[in-house]
Amino acid sequence: MCGICGIASGRGAVDAERVRRMSATLYHRGPDSEGAHIDGPVGIAARRLAIIDLTGGDQPIANEDGSVVVVQNGEIYNYRELMLELQRAGHSFHTHCDTEVLVHGYEEWGPRLWERLRGMFAVAVWDARRRRLVLARDRFGIKPLYYRDVGGELSFASELDALPKGEIDLDALDGFLAFNVVPGPLSIFEDIRKLLPGHTLTWQDGRVALERYARTGPLPVRHDDEAELVEECRARLRDSVRAHLIADVPVGVLLSGGVDSGALTALAAEESSEAVRTFSIGFEEATFNELDGARAVAARYGTVHRDLTLRPDAALLLPALADAFDEPFADSSALPTYLVSKLAAEDVKVALSGEGGDELFGGYYTYVADLLAERFGPLAARLRPVADRLPSSTRKASFDYRLKRFTRAAALPPLERHHTYKEIFNADVRAELTGRRSAFDPLVGYRERFAETSGHELLTRLQDVDFGLYLVDDLLTKTDRASMAWSLEARVPFMDSVVTNFAFSLPVRHKVRGFSKKRLLRKAVEPLLPHEVVHGRKRGFSIPAAAWLRGELEPFARETLRPDNLLRQGFFQPEAVLRVLDDHVAAREDLSRQLWGLLSFTLWYERHVEGVTRDVSLASVLA
């Protein structure tokens, strides 16, 4: 795992010191070594977190004559097989690391290299002979890559803080208010964009071209015997976990206590010669606490287990989260992910994480709602006045919360309905908050992706939208930034073509039926896990934000969102923000996700634009 950056200029030679300063902002992504390559108008650099070939893999890495130079953020899990293939084709290797495979693979296969890679990566290749710079991002979007193409200069980096900042992109802000994350390809700044998953960017002669090389998604439906599918599912997961354990340093597991991370723990324990290390986060609030399940899995497999129970004052770490995330990010589960990553980084350099299991195998209540709405949507919509009068609970995914969301969305078209279940602020409230009505449609990317899968089962198409957008912009971003803040490499075995191609070929009945979710996956892992984990209620690393914001965290929220702060920053109308805060505290509605978003943006802007640093003591919160 690393951080990469660089510049390609059509205006003359690159300033090597500027490239070095860009690299320095990425120190936390790669504290083990640094390196740069400057060739006239192009400079590329990397910070390295040494995982494979600890002594020989420093970057950049070049071919024999220096005509192809590569920097990489990520891991290539099939590098050994590719290395043998390239050696048979006549290529000589001077290291045992995966990055050198990219050098010779580019020489041998050119743009066809990317589709052959099994892993997670953001890569920059300088092709000196052709005077061409190529950027590539893995097909799933596991690793981030930003770029800025302005005034005859292309610059790129793993994180926004390495790039020149311009004005806030108001369309991106509107997207943030809709999703609590900034949807790609937008970034929070006008001049900077994200390279989308499965895409390359080529710079040559001062011109930039974007191209998609891969698109994971629905496949022809298989109708195999269920028992055979169950066995195949377990075998494919085992194959992926085995590949993701490849490292020259210890590998642990972030164990939430649910099915996905429990399965990873079980398979890692069975595939490892030494005891696996596991790390968990719990809460004092019972409906959010999954430590019992995590401890049961750890005990079953004899892992070296550590866990931590969070109290409400842990939310005072919001300023630290704002520091770790390079653009506004308001999935509240980032807090426990950030802290469990710190816990893991004290013992290991690599940890497996369960992102992707819900999107692939049907793990969300929204999927149940999608199917129910197809049958009962009009009737449910008529129940909305009753549902809206229900008192607001602070329990996780409470009945009143889900019923209100369901009845408000039930009569909408499928894609809009699916989005509305999870929507943060609708268009009318966004207009009240910002004092302007935007013409930007935050769902444009959703509509485009949904249109690409016409002909497949509806729920599979909606899962694909979540897989390609929500998973990338929210969950994978969260895991990358929260883990890299502590120089921890997070690997996601569900995000592997061996698993994804299987999951996307399953008929809906093997994923969701009635109120039963992840049907086939649960059957596949049932022999591996305690009964209470396989059949328990989904929790994950989510936090009791609703209760905290009505209790211990309310003074912090009011202080952060006070009118003079909001007026100084100039994005939100104080009266509208106060209404959201008061409605939540008075329990008229659970608006915790909305408040978390407003807090996260305000603290992010304070830290990354205004340059204000709040003193946050981890020791005092975690003592």
CATH code, 160: 3.60.20.10
pLDDT at 619 over 70: no
Matching residue, tokens 């013992």: 347
- Statement to judge: residues 300 and 175 lie in one domain: no
Residues 399 and 301: their CA atoms lie apart, in Å, by: 35
Structure tokens at 578: 């106060």
Indicate whether 555 belongs to any domain. Answer: no
Q: What pLDDT, on the 0 to 100 scale, is given for residue 57?
A: 85
Provide the CB-side half-sphere exposure for 256 (13 A, CA). 23
Q: What pLDDT, on the 0 to 100 scale, is given for residue 541?
A: 60
How many domains is the chain partitioned into structurally? 2
pLDDT tens digits for range 5-43: 999 999 899 999 999 999 999 999 999 999 999 999 999
Indicate whether 146 belongs to any domain. Answer: yes
Q: What pLDDT, on the 0 to 100 scale, is given for residue 539?
A: 57
Instruction: Give the pLDDT band of residue 466 (cuts 50, 70, 90).
Output: very high
- Statement to judge: residues 47 and 170 lie in one domain: yes
Residues 141 and 574: their CA atoms lie apart, in Å, by: 36
Kindly report the number of other CB atoms within 10 A of residue 112's CB atom: 11
Q: Which of the pair, 476 or 378, is modelled with greater confidence?
A: 476
SS3 70: strand
pLDDT at 292 over 80: yes
- Statement to judge: residues 124 and 75 lie in one domain: yes
**What is the average pLDDT value for the chain, to the nearest integer?**
92
Indicate whether 325 belongs to any domain. Answer: no
Instruction: Give the pLDDT band of residue 409 (cuts 50, 70, 90).
Output: confident
For the residues 275-295, what does the mean pLDDT come to?
Answer: 85
Q: Which of the pair, 547 or 209, is modelled with greater confidence?
A: 209
Residues comprising the chain, all counted: 623
Matching residue, tokens 């608006």: 591
Question: What angle separates helix 259-271 from helix 291-301, to the nearest 10 degrees?
Answer: 20
- Statement to judge: residues 70 and 152 lie in one domain: yes
Q: Known catalytic residue: 2? A: yes
| Residue among 77, 108, 73 nearest 92 (CA) | 108
- Statement to judge: residues 41 and 12 lie in one domain: yes
- Statement to judge: residues 73 and 14 lie in one domain: yes
Indicate whether 327 belongs to any domain. Answer: no
The conformational region for residue 534 under phi > 0 = left, psi -120 to 50 = alpha, else beta, is: alpha
Q: What pLDDT, on the 0 to 100 scale, is given for residue 106?
A: 98
Give the β-pairing of 132-137 and 119-127: antiparallel
Indicate whether 262 belongs to any domain. Answer: yes
Give the β-pairing of 207-212 and 199-204: antiparallel
Domain holding 28, by residue range, is 2-212
Q: Which of the pair, 349 or 313, is modelled with greater confidence?
A: 349
pLDDT tens digits for range 417-436: 999 989 999 999 999 999 99
CB 216 within 8 A of CB 198: yes
Phi/psi of residue 168, nearest 5 degrees: -65, 130
For the residues 308-312, what does the mean pLDDT come to?
Answer: 80
- Statement to judge: residues 273 and 141 lie in one domain: no
Residues 587 and 393: their CA atoms lie apart, in Å, by: 8
For the residues 505-527, what does the mean pLDDT come to?
Answer: 96
Residues 65 and 55: their CA atoms lie apart, in Å, by: 22
pLDDT tens digits for range 65-112: 999 999 999 999 999 999 999 999 999 999 999 999 999 999 999 999
Non-local CB neighbours of 557 within 8 Å, separated by 6+ positions: 549, 581, 595, 599
- Statement to judge: residues 37 and 158 lie in one domain: yes
The conformational region for residue 264 under phi > 0 = left, psi -120 to 50 = alpha, else beta, is: alpha
% pLDDT > 90, the chain: 81
Q: Alpha helix (H) ranges present in 272-388? A: 291-301, 318-324, 334-345, 357-361, 365-382, 384-388
Phi/psi of residue 622, nearest 5 degrees: -95, 0
For the residues 455-460, what does the mean pLDDT come to?
Answer: 97
> How far, in Å, are 126, 127, 179, 209, 336 from residue 135 at the CA level?
9, 11, 27, 10, 32
pLDDT at 470 over 90: yes
For the residues 439-464, what does the mean pLDDT come to?
Answer: 97
For the residues 472-482, what does the mean pLDDT come to?
Answer: 97
Indicate whether 317 belongs to any domain. Answer: no
SS3 251: strand
Instruction: Give the pLDDT band of residue 1 (cuts 50, 70, 90).
Output: low
Indicate whether 187 belongs to any domain. Answer: yes
Residues 117 and 107: their CA atoms lie apart, in Å, by: 15
Q: How far is CA 69 from the centre of its chain?
A: 28
Q: What pLDDT, on the 0 to 100 scale, is given for residue 594?
A: 97
Among 68-77, 84-93, 315-324, 337-346, whose mean pLDDT is lowest? 315-324
Q: The whole model's pTM is what?
A: 0.94
- Statement to judge: residues 195 and 79 lie in one domain: yes
| CATH number for 244 | 3.40.50.620
For the residues 296-311, what does the mean pLDDT come to?
Answer: 93
| Residue among 599, 602, 606, 605 nearest 581 (CA) | 599
- Report the 3 state secondary structure along 499-534: HHHHHCCCCHHHCEECCEECHHHHHHHCCCCCHHHH
The domain boundary, picked from 518, 534, 550, lies at 534
- Statement to judge: residues 82 and 188 lie in one domain: yes
Q: What pLDDT, on the 0 to 100 scale, is given for residue 393?
A: 58
Q: Which residue is catalytic, options 2, 5, 97, 233?
A: 2
Q: What pLDDT, on the 0 to 100 scale, is given for residue 410?
A: 79
Based on the number of CB atoms within 10 Å of its own CB, is 615 exposed (0-12), middle (13-18) or buried (19 or more)?
exposed
Question: What angle separates helix 365-382 from helix 414-422, to the nearest 10 degrees?
Answer: 110
CB 291 within 8 A of CB 309: yes
- Statement to judge: residues 207 and 238 lie in one domain: no
pLDDT at 608 over 70: yes
Q: What pLDDT, on the 0 to 100 scale, is given for residue 376?
A: 76
The domain boundary, picked from 467, 501, 534, lies at 534
Structure tokens at 202: 């080529």
Indicate whether 591 belongs to any domain. Answer: no
pLDDT at 538 over 70: no
Among 60-69, 258-267, 309-318, 365-374, whose mean pLDDT is lowest? 309-318
Give the β-pairing of 119-127 and 68-76: antiparallel
Q: What pLDDT, on the 0 to 100 scale, is given for residue 471?
A: 98
- Statement to judge: residues 208 and 230 lie in one domain: no
| Residue among 495, 500, 511 nearest 370 (CA) | 511
Q: How far is CA 622 from the centre of its chain?
A: 25
Phi/psi of residue 505, nearest 5 degrees: -105, 0
